[in-house]
Amino acid sequence: MMSGVNVAVFGATGAVGVEMVKVLEERSLSVNGLRLLASRGERTMKWRGGEVPVEAVGPSSFEGIDIALFAVEGDVSREWAPVAARSGAVVIDNSSAFRMDPDVPLVVPEINPEDIAAHKGIIANPNCSTIIALIALAPIHRAVGIKRLVASTYQAVSGAGKAGLDELERQTRDYAQGKPLSVSAFQYQIAFNLIPHIDAFGEDDYTKEELKMRNESRKILHAPDLRVSCTCVRVPVMRSHSEALTIETERAISPEEAREILRGAPGVKVGDAADEKKYPMPLDTADHSLS
């Protein structure tokens, strides 16, 4: 990020928006001013030892803003992202609204930062499961080419926002107390269960969440012929998604060569020593950096 910028976070009070504000502060970025926006302005949020009011979004909310981080639903992004862009802000949108728009770059900074140069005021952020997969796969794709990907994702309830987090906590507590479990955020009870259904079913009985992995991977890697089959499962974990990825490459690659490539890749930490019972787990990655 350039120095001394004015930043807005739209959707600041939601689960993703709260994390955006937290990361902005943790990274000690040079932010001149922070504007927090939501559908309603009812509270304040902590920022660098003080309190910042949350303002209700409106037509003038993005005036004087350099970078606008959007953590809202797709229909809200479609309404307000053009408004922010016309005000002179560069919008970085976390929703699915613009991801497959040919005029909007879909960017993972560790993979295709050069695509940012083509932006026209809006930059899209990929789906969470796509980012996780491609951070690991892009270095291997550059080295040997990937023809086919079979992915299984095990997605934490945080992917459903605060409602998902609250529901798993409430159901776990009620289960331990012998109370009946209420269901609202998910299709079925999530405590002590797995639900192979995230977003709506669509093409060929894949869910939209599963199709995002295919479509977004092709766009980010500039690999329109990449073959992808994905299964997405919601699991009773609070935070940090997990994935199992099986790939077919253009040329043969050994496991050790793959590990060596990943050890030098940005955003990747290799934890692979099965004989020592060391392997990636959500408890080791939730709310943790690579340092």
> Does residue 222 carry a catalytic annotation?
no
Supply the Cα-derived Rg of the chain in whole angstroms. Answer: 20
Give me the catalytic one of 128, 141, 230, 232.
128
User: What is the Cα–Cα distance from 186 to 189, expressed in whole angstroms?
Assistant: 7
DSSP calls for 198-235: -S-B-GGG-BHHHHHHHHHHHHHHT-TT-EEEEEEEE-
CB neighbours (10 Å) of residue 243? Answer: 17
Q: Is 288 a catalytic residue?
A: no
Phi–psi pair at 132, nearest 5 degrees: -55, -45
Report yes or no: 170 and 182 within 8 Å, Cβ to Cβ: yes
Q: Give the 3-state DSSP-derived string for 116-176, with helices as H, strands as E and coil as C.
A: HHHCCCEEECCCHHHHHHHHHHHHHHHHHCEEEEEEEEEECHHHHHHHHHHHHHHHHHHHH
64 phi and psi angles, rounded to 5 deg: 80, 5
Catalytic residue among 119, 222, 241, 288: 241
Q: What is the SS3 assignment for 87?
A: coil
CA distance 212 to 199: 11
Q: Is 47 exposed, middle or buried (0-12, 13-18, 19+ CB in 10 A)?
A: middle
Which of helix, strand or coil describes residue 257? helix
Which residues are marked as active site? 128, 241
